[in-house]
A and B are shown apart, each in its own frame.
Chain A
Amino acid sequence: MSKYYVNKFLYTVDRDPELMKRYAEDPRNLVATWEQSIGPRLIGNDVEESTVVALTDHEREALINHDYVALFEMGAHFFLNLTMYIGIFDEPYIQKSGPLSFQREFAAKLQHWKGRDYPTVEV
């Protein structure tokens, strides 16, 4: 498991409008592109590559499926996990069901964690 690399995906995609658009529209392709040419770059350096980390199959599938519940459960950082999927789902949910409807569905899907220790976000 590489929590760090999952967070790196969320961080680098969420901050870039073009990558966000591609991740919303075609997540499988964007995740493949990211693993090949974006994830391995050291942050802030387009020349140097890092060979330290890789996504597991479970992590890759969670990212491809926009599966924020699985990401929460594997300890992806709560702020990145929320911001990313607000970026993708907030607008369509507002159109359909009103303000904060996505955020409340997100919370509802995690109700089984209420009162328990959440998976740690420490990397």
Chain B
Amino acid sequence: MPPKQQMPQAPEWKRKVEAYRETLAAAKPDILVMVGSDHFHQIFLDNCPQFLIGKAPRYDATFYNEEREFGIPKYVLEGDEDMSRFMHQSLMDQSFDFAFSNELKIDHSIICPIITVRPQNDLPVVPIYTNIFAPPLHSPKRFYELGRAIRKAIEDYPSDKRVAAIGTGHLSLELGGPRQFMETGPDPVFDRQAIEWLRTGDVDAILANVTHKSMVESGNATQGFLNFILMLGVAGPEGADYVDNLDLFHTMEAYFTWYPKEQAA
């Protein structure tokens, strides 16, 4: 897009995303566990899992209505059936009743992070979907515990391949309501607090303060924050190694990286 047609934050956004991308490259991953949430693209209310894992040899990406609305091109992502199978069994063994899919088309919640942090799309993925917007939803604590369980599955995976987990969610966000598309997100106070909690790995404060009621009060789509809580579960109650954020016109973006402590040095 010519610079004049870009939003004013575009150069800063590009800089920040490229810097964040480096934090993944530095980990030299071989497999990506991708945590996102289908937005009524393949999954609908006739059959709606709380948690689902993809187990396919590859995954098509981007639906017609996402191309229409967001201009995201089509992709094909390689899968890793062995890792998917191991992850699925491990999560079941850890008391997470996962639904699974052998023909899963990926939506923007997973393809956008690929475009931003791994645009060469050269690594196999294990997609994990969470329900963050068709209530009733699991509790923040359950999302954190799922993150811990995913971490254990990664640690237990009998392979010397290096696994990175990448998750996307939201800070405060309003969609289809009176606070949508304002100059800031609907609750900048929550956004700053949430970034601080994640920066310091303060899961106790999150679980003491964040409820479904509080999230909805911060914006009707704020429950996407549950995926951030899940990712803190993957990291464990640790301070983040990299933190950045950017105020986009209708929501705050935030970027966090945690390295396993034995490698952080």
Q: Are A11 and B40 in contact (CB under 8 A)?
A: yes
Contacting B at CB under 8 A, from A92-115, are 100, 103-104, 106-108, 110-114
Residues of B within 8 A of A113 (CB): 177-178
B120 smallest CB distance to A (angstroms):
29
Contact stretch, chosen from B15-23, B60-68, B143-151, B230-238: B60-68
A16 to B44, CA, bound (A): 15
A48 to B31, CA, bound (A): 40
Q: Which of A15, A77, A121 meets B65, CB within 8 Å?
A: A15
A121 to B220, CA, bound (A): 10
Q: Are A82 and B44 in contact (CB under 8 A)?
A: no
A-B contact count (CB 8 A): 83
Known contacts A15-B65, A43-B44, A77 near B134 by CB under 8 Å? yes
Residues of A within 8 A of B39 (CB): 79
Q: Does A34 contact B (CB under 8 A)?
A: no
Known contacts A87-B69, A121-B135, A106 near B176 by CB under 8 Å? yes
A117 to B108, CA, bound (A): 29
Residues of B within 8 A of A70 (CB): none
Residues of B within 8 A of A43 (CB): 44, 46-47
Q: Interface code A61-99, partner B: CB below 8 Å = 1, 0 otherwise?
A: 000000010001000011111110011001000000000
Q: Are A4 and B69 in contact (CB under 8 A)?
A: no
Q: Are B40 and A80 in contact (CB under 8 A)?
A: yes
Q: Are A79 and B45 in contact (CB under 8 A)?
A: no
A14 to B257, CA, bound (A): 35
Closest A residue to B68 by CB, please name it.
A87
Residues of A within 8 A of B249 (CB): 100
A82 to B40, CA, bound (A): 12
A103 to B181, CA, bound (A): 7
Residues of A within 8 A of B68 (CB): 17, 87
Q: Are B41 and A15 in contact (CB under 8 A)?
A: yes
A15 to B62, CA, bound (A): 12
Residues of A within 8 A of B176 (CB): 68, 72, 78-79, 81-82, 106
Known contacts A17-B64, A118-B220, A107 near B45 by CB under 8 Å? no
- For this complex, 8 residue pairs linking A to B, each with C-beta atoms less than 8 Å apart, are A15-B64, A42-B46, A43-B46, A78-B175, A79-B175, A100-B249, A107-B179, A114-B179
